[in-house]
Structure 1
Amino acid sequence: MKEKKTEPRIFTIADWEKEERYLRKRHQEGWKFLKVSLPGFYHFEKCAPEDMVYQLDYNEEGLKHKDEYVQMFKDCGWEYLQDFGGYSYFRKPVSEMQGEEEIFCDDESRLDMMRRVFAGRYLPILVILMLLILPNLIAQFHSSDADAPILAALFLILLAIYAWAAVSFGYRYWKLKKRLEK
């Protein structure tokens, strides 16, 4: 039986909760997460099945003071795994937890992380969209070149992907904000 395996998976930057559940499920099945690498390859090692909670945190300020940042989580029993795509990966066995323990103590903390993700990831994407994709898309619609329809289709696909990611993120942000207002 193979002792290591790699699985391709794509999670958007707003899908950190899905990614956490995915990693937890794999560990429960006996596959310990080792690392994630581009373009979305998740590397695992065979292990004894165990209920392990995985948590992701997006904190660029924390990464500027990485030693203190990682130590803070270590002091609370979380094992630091890696940084990837702006997120820091942590895990902790459920057997060592006291109730429903998370690195975010409340929804306000989660909302704050979502604001950091928006500022660090979505704003640059929005700039790319406005400065590169939209002008090129418009240019292709006005072009008489033979390859213009193909390029226009590619730019439309990129636009649709960016729009879907932004709407998905916005919806999650809105839901969390509504939950806080109750």
Structure 2
Amino acid sequence: MKKRKILFSLGVAYYPEKEMLRLQKQAMLGWHFVGMNRLGFLRFEKQAPQAKKFAVDFFDGESSEESEYIALYEASGWHYISNYQKRYYYFEGNLAAPPIFSDQDSYQERINAEQRYLIKRSFWVALVGALLLAILYSVKSIWHWQDHAIWSFVFGICTGLLFVPVMIAIVSYLMGKLYKDRAAFYNQPEKIAKRQKVVRDLLIMALAGAVAGGIIGYIFG
């Protein structure tokens, strides 16, 4: 009998409510969530079906505060499962466990802190792109390979990396507009989860990305 299962994450940064609803459904089917790996895959192990609910929180504190942070959740009836990159912490509780946020303002602050983190982290990606572009331009006069198709491909990848912060900002802005009342459901995450339309949102993001990419390509082409 199959003992392990893997599902691709919908995106814990933008669909945590929908993601937790998925974990709850899997638990009812007998699949216990054990964590998310670095590639964004959710890992499950076969167990007896259980009626429980899940929560994920974004932690922006210091590593020295982790034990106290987890202890606060444990005291509130939430059992710590695992974390993703020491930022996203997964918890499980019985169906009577209280919401992990006490009010709308605290949940909105969680969302804001998460977006600041994503933007900040994206600048490291942009830095890598800038360094790679610098290397490309430094060697093109030596190898004279800028007329080859591979130059255009590599140049496009590096330029894309350079503009990752812009894309993250666009995605965050659009998601904020699509679910502008998200924080109001701090104590009823299942309701906002049912409103989250992943395929529709992906199409909107793809369109926005195509427009942004076209503008960038026109400027730097």
Calculate the TM-score normalised by the size of structure 2. 0.64
Determine the structure 2 residue equivalent to 1:149. Answer: 152
CA RMSD of aligned residues (A): 3.2
Segments of 5+ residues of structure 2 without an aligned counterpart are: 186-221
For 1:46 and 1:144, locate their aligned partners in 2 and report how far apart those are by CA, in whole Å.
53
User: Residues 155 and 74 of structure 1: is their aligned pair in 2 closer, same or farther, counting only changes over 3 Å?
Assistant: same
Name the one with the larger strand percent.
1
Native 8 Å contact 2:9 2:19 kept in 1: no
The reply to whether residue 169 of structure 1 matches residue 172 of structure 2 is: yes
Displacement of 1:13 in angstroms is 2.5
SS state at 1:65 partner: helix
Displacement of 1:87 in angstroms is 0.7
Structure (1 or 2) with the larger CA radius of gyration: 2
Determine the structure 2 residue equivalent to 1:117. Answer: 114
SS state at 1:38 partner: coil
For 1:84 and 1:7, locate their aligned partners in 2 and report how far apart those are by CA, in whole Å.
15
Q: Give CA-to-partner distance per residue, 1:144-182, whole Å, 9 cap, x none.
A: 3412211234346557876554333223445148969xx
For 1:93 and 1:70, locate their aligned partners in 2 and report how far apart those are by CA, in whole Å.
17
SS state at 1:144 partner: coil
Native 8 Å contact 2:32 2:45 kept in 1: yes
For 2:63 and 2:14, locate their aligned partners in 1 and report how far apart those are by CA, in whole Å.
19
Paired AA for residue 22 in structure 1 = R
Determine the structure 2 residue equivalent to 1:104. Answer: 101
SS state at 1:114 partner: helix
What percentage of residue pairs aligned between the two structures are identical? 21
Number of aligned pairs? Answer: 173
Determine the structure 1 residue equivalent to 2:82. Answer: 82
For 1:145 and 1:110, locate their aligned partners in 2 and report how far apart those are by CA, in whole Å.
52
